[in-house]
């Protein structure tokens, strides 16, 4: 039950890249009351503790260490504790938290709706998991398939520091990274796809602010039943039938795709590029790293947690 007549939300880290975009998405909604701390108190634990006890949900948009501190602070409030929605990497494979990908399985929305603690997914895993999990569940992709996930992100994915680097001219126009093969998203990527073999993940960042492509090359003869590319597309389409924000689209003969088309939306598009004669395919997800990859997903989860509808949110306050 809400602490007031309209559910209240505090965004801890509202001055950061993800936090600001959630504020933008929630501002003016009549069905949510946004609470805030004065800038000089935004890192003050006492001020946070007082506000945490007054609100229904705290959205954590903080670095991992600060997110863990905030979660501990909330836990210390006992029955006054707010529900938490954490945008950081800190709790994504923690069994005490519910993973905030509503499209993961048919019972996931209900789990998110009932959860006291929800971990918003990472931007790259959102693409990788939505591409791969239905193929694993359908028995097409063997769980021990040697999966490689390649991806490119806009530089806002690196938060305020990376934005300053790129916009200040201090960054290269394109760069591969994560080449130590220990990227922080690997744990959730493997856990929620159900893969038993650790995937190889090769992220990259380029000189555009926002947008993302995640791609997975596949050798079709190594999949169960050597499916045609169309069978992979059909399995994805069947899994996401009715999913509001996921579109499974034909490639329509196109052999290229750019990353920015879904910016400022909460949509994700999934495509299967295939060459049946060569027995090869590439799965591609396109999303906004700050939309379905972060802030849009957070608002989608918040709506589930509070029983709000997206349509209500579109009616701005008079
Ligand atoms: N950018 C993206 O595409 C995505 C980011 N995320 C995750 O969201 C979280 C936030 O990232 P992002 O917004 O990009 O990062 P930013 O660096 O842009 O913002 C982080 C904000 O948190 C503030 N902060 C740090 N410590 C505290 C504290 N103890 N109390 C209150 N505020 C604090 C920072 O303040 P100050 O400026 O003073 O340091 C800053 O304003 C991270 O965990 C990130 O991994 C998740 C998905 C995508
Ligand atoms: C371009 C860039 O640096 N991207 C970030 C991921 C952004 C993100 O989604 O991070 P979390 O969801 O885990 O918080 C990175 O690779 O660390």
User: Does 199 sit in the ligand 2 pocket, CB within 6 Å?
Assistant: no
What is the separation of C-alpha 297 from the centre of its chain, rounded to a whole number of angstroms? 6
User: Does 299 sit in the ligand 2 pocket, CB within 6 Å?
Assistant: no
Cα of 2 vs centre of ligand 2, distance in Å, is 32
Cα of 135 vs centre of ligand 1, distance in Å, is 33
Which of 124, 288, 296 has the most ligand 2 atoms within 8 A of CB, as the residue to mutate? 124
- Which residue, by CA, sits nearest to atom 3 of ligand 2? 158
The pLDDT, as a whole number, for residue 282 is 98
Cα of 89 vs centre of ligand 2, distance in Å, is 9
The pLDDT, as a whole number, for residue 1 is 65
Which of 86, 152, 174, 185 has the most ligand 2 atoms within 8 A of CB, as the residue to mutate? 185
| Catalytic residue selected from 59, 61, 115, 123 | 123
pTM for the predicted model, two decimal places:
0.96
The pLDDT, as a whole number, for residue 311 is 53
Atom number of ligand 2 nearest to Cα 18? 14
Q: At residue 244, what are phi and psi to the nearest 5 degrees? A: -65, -35
User: Does 153 sit in the ligand 2 pocket, CB within 6 Å?
Assistant: yes
Which residues in the chain land under pLDDT 70?
Answer: 1, 311-318
Structure-derived torsion over alpha carbons of residues 132, 136, 142, 145, reported in degrees to the nearest 10:
20
The pLDDT, as a whole number, for residue 315 is 42
Atom number of ligand 2 nearest to Cα 88? 14
The pLDDT, as a whole number, for residue 316 is 37
User: Is 123 a known active-site residue?
Assistant: yes
How confident is the prediction for the chain on average, in pLDDT? 96
Question: Tens of pLDDT along 154-199?
Answer: 999 999 999 999 999 999 999 999 999 999 999 999 999 999 999 9
| Ligand that lies nearest to the alpha carbon of residue 15, given by its number in the listed order | 1
Question: Tens of pLDDT along 15-52?
Answer: 999 999 999 999 989 999 999 999 999 999 999 999 99
| Ligand that lies nearest to the alpha carbon of residue 186, given by its number in the listed order | 2
DSSP per-residue codes, the chain:
--SSSS-EEEEETTTSHHHHHHHHHHTTBSS-EEE---GGGTT-HHHHHHHHTT-SEEEE-S-HHHHHHHHHHHHTTGGGPPEEEE-SSTTTT-TTSEE--TTSSTTHHHHHHH-SEEEPPPHHHHHHHHHHHHHHHTT-S-TT---EEEEEEEGGGGHHHHHHHHHTT-S-SEEE--TTS--TTHHHHHHHHT-SSPPEEEEEEESSSS-EEEEEEEEGGGSTT---HHHHHHHHHHHTTT-TTEEE---TT-----S-TTTTS--EEEEEEEEGGGTEEEEEEEE-TTIIIIIHHHHHHHHHHHT--HHHHHSB--
User: Does 156 sit in the ligand 2 pocket, CB within 6 Å?
Assistant: no
């Amino acid at each position: 039950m809400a602490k007031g007549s309209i559910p209240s939300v505090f965004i801890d880290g509202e001055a950061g890249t993800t936090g600001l975009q959630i504020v933008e998405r929630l501002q003016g909604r009549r069905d949510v009351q946004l609470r805030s701390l004065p800038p000089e108190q935004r890192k003050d634990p006492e001020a946070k503790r007082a506000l945490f006890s007054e609100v229904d949900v705290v959205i954590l948009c903080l670095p991992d260490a600060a997110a863990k501190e905030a979660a501990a602070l909330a836990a210390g409030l006992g029955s006054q504790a707010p529900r938490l929605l954490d945008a950081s990497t800190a709790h994504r494979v923690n069994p005490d938290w519910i993973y905030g990908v509503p499209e993961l399985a048919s019972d996931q929305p209900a789990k998110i709706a009932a959860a006291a603690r929800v971990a918003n997914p990472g931007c790259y895993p959102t693409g990788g998991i939505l591409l791969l999990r239905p193929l694993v569940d359908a028995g097409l992709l063997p769980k021990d398939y040697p999966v490689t996930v390649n991806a490119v992100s806009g530089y806002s994915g690196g938060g305020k520091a990376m934005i300053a680097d790129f916009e200040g001219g201090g960054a290269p126009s394109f760069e591969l990274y994560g080449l130590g093969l220990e990227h922080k998203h690997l744990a959730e990527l493997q856990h929620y796809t159900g893969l038993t073999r650790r995937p190889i993940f090769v992220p990259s960042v380029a000189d555009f602010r926002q947008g993302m492509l995640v791609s997975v090359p596949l050798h079709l003869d190594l999949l169960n039943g050597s499916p045609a590319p169309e069978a992979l597309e059909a399995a994805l389409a069947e899994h996401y039938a009715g999913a509001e924000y996921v579109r499974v689209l034909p490639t329509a003969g196109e052999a290229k795709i750019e990353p920015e088309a879904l910016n400022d939306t909460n949509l994700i598009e999934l495509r299967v590029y295939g060459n049946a004669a060569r027995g090869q395919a590439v799965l591609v997800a396109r999303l906004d790293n700050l939309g379905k990859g972060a802030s849009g997903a957070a608002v989608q989860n918040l709506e589930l947690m509070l029983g709000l509808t997206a349509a209500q949110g579109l009616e701005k306050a008079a």
